[in-house]
Structure 1
Amino acid sequence: MGRVVLVTGAGRQLTARFIRRVQRDGDIDRLIAVDVQPPAHQLGSAEFIAADIRQPAIGRLLAEHHVDTVVHMDVNGTPIGPRGSRTSVKETNVIGTMQLLGACQKAPSVRRLVVKSSTNVYGSAPRDPAVFVESTVAKALPSGGFAKDAVEVEGYVRGFARRRPDVSVTVLRFANILGPTADTPLAEYFKLPVLPTVFGYDPRLQFVHEDDAVEVLALASGEPRRGSYSAGTFNIAGGGVLLLSQCARRLGRPTAPMLLPAIRWAGSALRAVGVTDFSPEQIRLLTHGRVVRTSQMREMLGFTPMFTTAEAFGDFAGSQPPGLLPPRTLAGAVDRLQEAVRHG
């Protein structure tokens, strides 16, 4: 029997792109895409099955179709559509992962598991190392939001790997995914007309282009390349870093520096109107930043991104409407302010 691949989170735009991408390789005999509701995006020749991974029925699906590879992409920070909620997202991230892994544990046909995770698992704290590696233990574990979900998901994945050592398990920790169609919490933040920032901080940020995210998922879920190691945990990010101030300048967005109490209030107001997931962990990222090392991605997984962090952000910025200020005007104003500060 040939390869049978099941992909979760088919309702997401990025998942639909991944599904269409792996079909081009021609080494999958059957591709099953699952989600609660029919996707709005094309899935090519994949077979869509309406299924809720939070329910035990997902186990019957694995057994009936003799699935050998599971690509778990239903781990996200934003809901789908206006009816979605943070509660439903958390249930899918955490409860859904528990049910899916329990089903995989009982399915003897499963031989490979790929999980879409996030560098959010490292948190963001003032005494963090300058660069995180895959083995780094967070100084302070995330206390809420998507970051906490990702930590819990990875904990369940490690438990599954211990119980099923015969299964090849790959965890891809993505930096913030950006691109013209990205729907991540940070993408929503950058779409605001004025960017709330934490007074006195200019964090370092990393991004991965959505095209690179699709390609590395295809690599991890395919047959291992000669000399590469597809099992394990890998940081995924484009080379280089950007400061938050540089991002604002490239977007032409003015910033609104706030003290922490004020920005927490602003975050609550934004969440109340459904603008963005401005969770405490998001605020910590915009305070302390986060940078990861990607040497294992290149040397062990054998993947080199097509886009640097700056290029990924540039492609995202180019897809957005003009900011309130022309980028050159904003950049000049910021440069003059910084020069004035330096010279007292």
Structure 2
Amino acid sequence: MPPAVVLVTGVSRWLGGALAAELASDPAIGRVIGVDTVPPAPEVLRRLGRTEFVRADIRSPLIAKVIESASVDTVVHMNTMASPAAPGGRVSMKELNVIGTMQLLAACQRSPLVRRLVLASTTAVYGSSPRDPAVFTETMQARRVPSGGFARDSLDIEGYVRGFARRRPDVGVSVLRLTDVIGPRIDSPVAAFLRLPVVPTVLGHDPRLQLLHEDDAVAVLARAATGDHVGTVNVAAPGTVLLSQAVRRLGRLALPVPGPALGSAGQLTRRAGLAEWSPEQLRHLAAGRVVDTRVLREEFGFTPRFTTAQALADYGRTLSPVLSPELVATAAASARDAVEQVARGAAAVSGLLTALRGDRRPAPSVPGLRAVRDA
């Protein structure tokens, strides 16, 4: 049975607004109410369709009146902040993420009509550490528990949601742990980072990236809001790419720097208004993170339309490459030729030395140097 009244928090951001618009396009849903502290931008407002926008702060107990007066039966919580805003900094970010969630859950608990709650969480709750497993499942915990920032807030939020589920067992609770979302329209931290003409990387590290296309993010959230699945689900696209591959495919330049110096590079880009990096994002650049999506496919019943490579390519359409693909291909071909020449020269030297020694045994084979892999 489709929901009668859906409330979506955080509709002034791209993902929240896109979800509200998607739900509003479903004629089976009676009403869609969008809530945020600031009104949406004109282009977002036009896309919202029949969504009713209510300017309200989820940190205030007044959010309970909105839920009660509109007879809301489904709540999708997306009003969390991934990076500190300039005016309020980390204090304002934590108030919105943690205090706002507590007030929203309290309002849902008091309303007898609420029967479904969807939380847009993040795979950042698994942290990033050199001791991490190759793939995280939903039952695993962080090897290195995040000590602050968005990842720490998300851990606290999920804890509050689990407590709510115990107090209201009649409410179906679905927690979606989204990986880094990317696409032509969304302005996410990973998109801002890969948009830099010169992308700083951690010297000696080449982490695996697992992405999610913005259209798939909207589709999976809409499915969670209108479906009946209960539990925690990792949401990510199939496949991974190395950070070095992502940089090359987007035509950017990589700048390997020592790990301790990456924080200083982040401060420079933040002051220039180019990208905002948190300590947890810096650790992600060194260790990476990959999650298992079996539950998403087999139990939740959703398969992303875009792979990680395809999501990256679709985002790349919006960028003007610093390095042209032709130049990258020429440099890669030259590197392959050089490697092959070195391999042939090493084999010739090995054969000559064997002949000079008069050794009739077969000359030891020289391990072939691996050709430069195409990005």
Matched, 1:99 2:103: yes
Q: Distance in 1 between matches of 2:77 and 2:71?
A: 17
Letter in 1 for 2:55: A
Cα gap change, 1:268 to 1:143, in 2 (>3 Å): farther
TM-fit CA distance, 1:334: 6.3
1:82-231 pair list within 5 angstroms? 85-224=89-228, 230-231=229-230
Check the 8 A contact 1:144/1:279 in 2, yes or no.
no
CA separation in 2, counterparts of 1:72 and 1:84? 21
Residue identity over aligned pairs, in percent, reads: 52
Greater shift, 103-112 or 201-210, is seen at: 103-112
Structure 1 residues 254 and 142: CA distance shift in structure 2, 3 A: same
8 Å CA contact 1:171, 1:233 repeated in 2: yes
Find the residue that maps to 1:133 and give its secondary structure. coil
How far 1:62 sits from its partner (Å)?
A: 1.1
String of CA shifts for 1:261-310, please: whole Å, max 9, x gaps. 11122123333444322111111111011000101001111101100011
The answer to which of 193-202 and 68-77 deviates more is 68-77
In the alignment, the residues of structure 1 paired with residue 240 and residue 264 of structure 2 have an alpha-carbon distance, to the nearest angstrom, of 28
Q: How does 1:277-296 map to 2 (within 5 A)?
A: 277-296=276-295
> What whole-Å deviation, never above 9, does each CA across 1:108-131 have from its counterpart, x for those lacking one?
111100010110000000010000
1:135-162 deviation digits (Å, cap 9, x = unpaired): 1111011122222221121111111111
| Aligned partner (choices 62, 71, 82) of residue 67 of structure 2 | 62
Match of 2:233 in 1: 234
- Whether contact under 8 Å (1:254, 1:330) holds in the other structure is no
In structure 1, the gaps of 5 or more residues are 225-229
Paired residue secondary structure (1:136): coil
- 1:307-341 Cα deviation digits (max 9, x unpaired): 0011011101111122x21134235546739958x
Q: How many angstroms apart in 1 are the aligned matches of 2:166 and 2:257?
A: 46
Secondary structure of the corresponding residue to residue 267 of structure 1: helix
**Matched-pair contact (CA < 8 Å) for 1:111–1:167:** yes
Does the 8 A contact of 2:12 with 2:39 survive in 1?
Answer: yes
The question of whether the paired residues in 1 share the 8 Å contact of 2:25 and 2:49 is answered with no
Query: Which region of structure 1 is more displaced relative to structure 2, 173-182 or 155-164?
Result: 155-164
SS in 1 for 2:309: helix
SS at match of 2:117: strand
| Distance (whole Å) between structure 1 residues aligned to residue 282 and residue 219 of structure 2 | 30
Return the alpha-carbon distance in structure 1 between the equivalents of residues 329 and 200 of structure 2. 17
CA deviation after TM superposition for structure 1 residue 79, in Å: 6.5
Distance in 1, matches of 2:114 and 2:168, equals 10
Instruction: Find the partner of 2:82 among 69, 77, 80.
Output: 77
Contact conserved, 1:70 with 1:113, CA < 8 A, in 2? yes
Indicate conservation of the 8 Å contact 2:83/2:278, yes or no: no
Count of residue pairs brought into register by the alignment: 337
Aligned residue identity for 1:215: A
Cα distance in 2 between the residues matched to 1:144 and 1:263: 18
Q: In the alignment, residue 109 of structure 1 is paired with which amino acid?
A: L
Distance 2:135 2:252 in 1: 28
Residues 2 and 305 (structure 1), Cα distance of their counterparts in 2 relative to 1, 3 Å cut: closer
Distance apart, 1:343 and its partner CA: 5.5
Matched position secondary structure for 1:37 = coil
TM-score of the two chains, using structure 2 as the length reference: 0.85
Q: What is the CA deviation profile of residues 230-286 of structure 1, one whole-angstrom value per residue up to 9, with x for unaligned ones?
A: 111000011000000000001111111011111122123333444322111111111
Cα distance in 2 for partners of 1:94, 1:331 equals: 48
Query: Partners of 1:197 and 1:203 in 2: how far apart?
Result: 9
Q: 1:55 to 1:331 in 2, by over 3 A?
A: farther
Match of residue 330 from structure 1: 328
* Consecutive unaligned residues in structure 2, runs of 5 or more: 343-367, 371-375
Structural mapping, 1:283-322, within 5 Å: 283-322=282-321
SS at match of 1:63: helix
User: Matched residue of 2:186: which SS?
Assistant: coil
How far off is 1:83 after superposition? 5.8
RMSD (CA atoms): 2.3
Instruction: State the distance in 2 between where 1:59 and 1:329 align.
Output: 58
